[in-house]
Amino acid sequence: MTSKKKIAVFASGFGSNLQAILDYQSASKPNGEVVLVFSNNKAAYALERAKRHKIKTACFSPSDFAGREEYDKQIVKMLDCEDIDLVVLAGYMLLLGKHVIECYRNRIINIHPALLPSFKGTHGIKDALEYGVKITGVTVHFVDEGLDSGPIIIQETVTVSQDETLESLEEKIHRVEHAIYPLAVDYFCSGRLKISGRKVIITT
């Protein structure tokens, strides 16, 4: 029997995606286990969720260090110490440094609340709504050095209605996120994701 993959979740805020992953893992026989929750924001509710589940937490931010390089080195040190197999960005609102991406290449995934490559950045839902798209959605992707630019693992569409508000669209998007992110994590932990150039094959 192969051992469970060790997962670190990075979250800057509310942590509803972290919760969805934890709920999925307690309801099924997962191939991975969240062993660490990291935040750059000490007020992040995600840290509370982790504590409630007795998961180890860590919290520090770039301002705690002399420079961004030191912050990145500390992140890699923390991940190495815990022997992490997969880093899951779940509303982590800082760009990961080059050093972290190099050390954990193809082992970091992110969820974005729009259909990439449209509406990259930190306001994907609002930007899509204001643009007037009729269809938006959610993307789970590997993380590379670019902004929301790595190979796509899963995408799911969300229809924008005529009377859509930011709040109603956020609710629809989050519902989809909570359904697909735990699946993507499970695919990775089961060794089902193969990257071929820009394409990600999900094997059976």
Q: How far is CA 159 from the centre of its chain?
A: 22
Whether 112 is catalytic is yes
Q: How many Å apart are CA 202 and CA 177, to the nearest integer? A: 18
Q: How many Å apart are CA 179 and CA 187, to the nearest integer? A: 13
Tokens representing residue 30 in the block: 């997962």
Q: How many Å apart are CA 79 and CA 23, to the nearest integer? A: 23
Cβ pair 41, 12 in contact under 8 A: yes
Q: Reduced to 3 states, what is the DSSP secondary structure of residue 194?
A: strand
- Nearer residue to ligand GAR within complex by CB, 4 or 126: 126
Measured over all CA atoms, what is the biggest interatomic distance in the chain, rounded to whole angstroms? 52
Q: Nearest distance from residue 2's CB to ligand GAR, in Å?
A: 28
C-alpha count within 13 angstroms, C-beta hemisphere, residue 61: 11
Q: Nearest distance from residue 27's CB to ligand GAR, in Å?
A: 18
Q: How far apart are the first and last CA of the chain?
A: 18
Q: Reduced to 3 states, what is the DSSP secondary structure of residue 74?
A: helix
Instruction: Note the residues at the interface with ligand GAR (CB under 6 A).
Output: 11, 13-17, 90-91, 111-113, 122, 124, 174, 177
Q: Which of 112, 123, 174, 178 is catalytic?
A: 112
Query: What does residue 138 show for φ and ψ, rounded to 5 degrees?
Result: -135, 140
Q: Nearest distance from residue 157's CB to ligand GAR, in Å?
A: 15
Q: Nearest distance from residue 16's CB to ligand GAR, in Å?
A: 3
- Nearer residue to ligand GAR within complex by CB, 124 or 150: 124
- Nearer residue to ligand GAR within complex by CB, 73 or 151: 151
Measured from each CB, the residue nearest to ligand GAR is: 91
Q: Nearest distance from residue 54's CB to ligand GAR, in Å?
A: 20
Task: Please give the radius of gyration of the chain, using alpha carbons only, rounded to the nearest integer.
Answer: 17
The catalytic residue positions are 112
